[in-house]
Amino acid sequence: MTRLGSTPPSAQSANPSAGLNIDFIRSEFPVLARKIRGKQLVYLDNAASTQKPQQVIDAISNYYSQSHSNVHRGVHTLSQEATDLYEGARGRVGKFIGAQDTREIIFVRGATEAINLVAHSFVRPLLKPGDEIAISGLEHHSNIVPWQLLCEEKGSKLAVIPVTDNGEIDTQEMKKILARRPRILAINHVSNALGTVNPLREIVTAAHSEGVPVMVDGAQAMPHLAVDMQQLGCDFYCFSGHKMFGPTGIGVLYGRLDMLESLVPYQGGGDMILSVSFEGTIFNELPYRLEAGTPNIAGVVGLGAAVDYLTGIQMAEIQDYEDTLCSYALERIDAIPEVRIIGKARHRAGVVSFLVGDVHPHDVGTILDQKGIAVRAGHHCAQPVMERFGVPATVRASFAFYNTRQEVDTLCEALEDVTQYFN
């Protein structure tokens, strides 16, 4: 059986796009067969972390059971096998995102570490008192706090691009900020709180016209969109493995080669050196110069397997399916009178954030869990977004290509029960 085409009749009702065989895809994710409190699991917390296909689980298990060793340093067979797996994954990740050179792929613990790496190794040496760092009002805390710390240290300022009532960035105000030549623009590709898809190519072009480099947090985009670094044209782009059906504790910083060459090493030790003496150290070449210490080899192997899995399905098919599913979810959820959707951007991916009357989001999340439905309730590590819309928290249902219309219906029936319970 294949993931594409020849969708059996049993899957057609679950599948708004005939391109994907959803029944078969779901069978590849073991956790989706679980029951929670006697109910079939409906997993709608994908923006926090996606589930893992058996292919990824097996790749990690096989590495540990057959080929585990440290990489790059050994001449024995296991070390060579581990190194081949590690560097092979780097090549496949680079191809997946359209990098021109494998040296542009730096393995890190996740998007958070990648942002901190760029903050400390690229921006910090350039920053002077009075300089600005530009971010948007849609950012995750991980793309706010590192820049705040840097501004506090250097006496610099954070310039925040405002957000419209629809949950989109104000591009006219953005251009005014860019005209002041901030040292960098750090912006997400997709908002984790609202699902807004930023017009990234337009943003990058506007920034570069003012000579401003662009760092993109792509953690929420990678599971949903076909991402190509040559088309986007950004200087840095980062993402986390666990958001794209891979393991936790691994992520990627992509950087244009000329930009990465300018980075001062963020951490010292391990494979980032060529030679060390008490008089001084000669650093290794890229990408190893920015990968200090023993890496998360199993994480890289798992990430490579996740990339293989997504490549086998094709991101264009995933995007088409999810666009249809998300539109259906927005329509169904918005039709419930007591529910208010927060953020109605024209372009969005994978997320519907909402309130249910006066019921606290945590109470909604708890009630839904009793019905086997997993959603996120809280500020989603995006408190400035919540403040912008005057709410302390929201309920967030976030989707992946293994979700179905039936699961959306189950969610909406449960939300209607919540409204009746509190009325």
Question: Which residues belong to the active site?
Answer: 381
CB atoms within 10 A of CB 66: 10
- Given CA atoms 312, 6, 1, 397 in this order, what sign does their dihedral have? positive
Cα–Cα distances (Å) from 8 to 12, 14, 22, 200, in that order, read 7, 10, 9, 38
Q: How far is residue 53's CA from residue 29's CA, in Å, rounded to a whole number?
A: 4
Residue type, 235: D
Q: CB of 246 within 8 A of CB of 102? A: no
Q: How many helices (H) and strands (E) does the chain have?
A: 15, 17
From 370, 368, 330, select the one nearest 347 (Cα to Cα): 330
Give the span between the Cα atoms of 367 and 128, in whole angstroms: 51
Measured between alpha carbons, how far is 96 from 391 in angstroms, rounded to an integer?
Answer: 38
End-to-end CA gap in the chain = 48
